[in-house]
Every structure is written in structure tokens, then in C-alpha cells.
Amino acid sequence: MNTAGVLLGSMVVVVLIFLFELPRLRRAEKKEKAAFLVLLGLGMALAVVLIYFPDVPGPTQLVDDLFEPLARVFKLE
């Protein structure tokens, strides 16, 4: 599947999630609505990044890179 199709599919999923949560969002407070929309937006942004750049290292690689010097100091390798 091409990139545009995957991106369109991701957007459809986000819209479906929003529509599914809409009745509960109407009763929610402003902070809950804002939190939901921010998290949904961040999730969509992450999906777009991973669609266009699939070889982006994950969080495990970041932790390894951060703590590798510390492991060398304590000779854990």
C-alpha cells in the first residue's frame, strides 16, 4: 500500500475514534476535552512521522544511547 493510502487510513481511524468518543466529550469538562484532543493529535502526529520515516529509532534505542556511557563507567558491558 502506498504512503497516501496509509495516511488516509490513519486519518479515518482518528475520525472514527473522535466520533465514537463525541457523546462522552459533550458531557466532559473543558480540561478533559483538551486532554483528549491533545493526545489524539499527538497520536496522529506520531503516526504521520512513522508513516513517512519508518526507520526512526524507538524509545528503547534512546534509552540505550543515554545510558551506555553510564554502563561503561560501571563496567556493566
C-alpha span between 57 and 74 (Å, rounded): 26
HEC string of the chain equals CCHHHHHHHHHHHHHHHHHHHHHHHHHCCHHHHHHHHHHHHHHHHHHHHHHHCCCCCCHHHHHHHHHHHHHHHCCCC
C-alpha span between 16 and 36 (Å, rounded): 14
Q: How far is CA 44 from CA 13, 15, 52, in A?
A: 10, 10, 12
75 — pLDDT class (breaks 50, 70, 90): confident
Q: Where are the domains of the chain?
A: 3-74
- Tens-place pLDDT, residues 2-46: 888 999 999 999 999 999 999 999 999 999 999 999 999 999 999
**pLDDT for residue 77:** 55
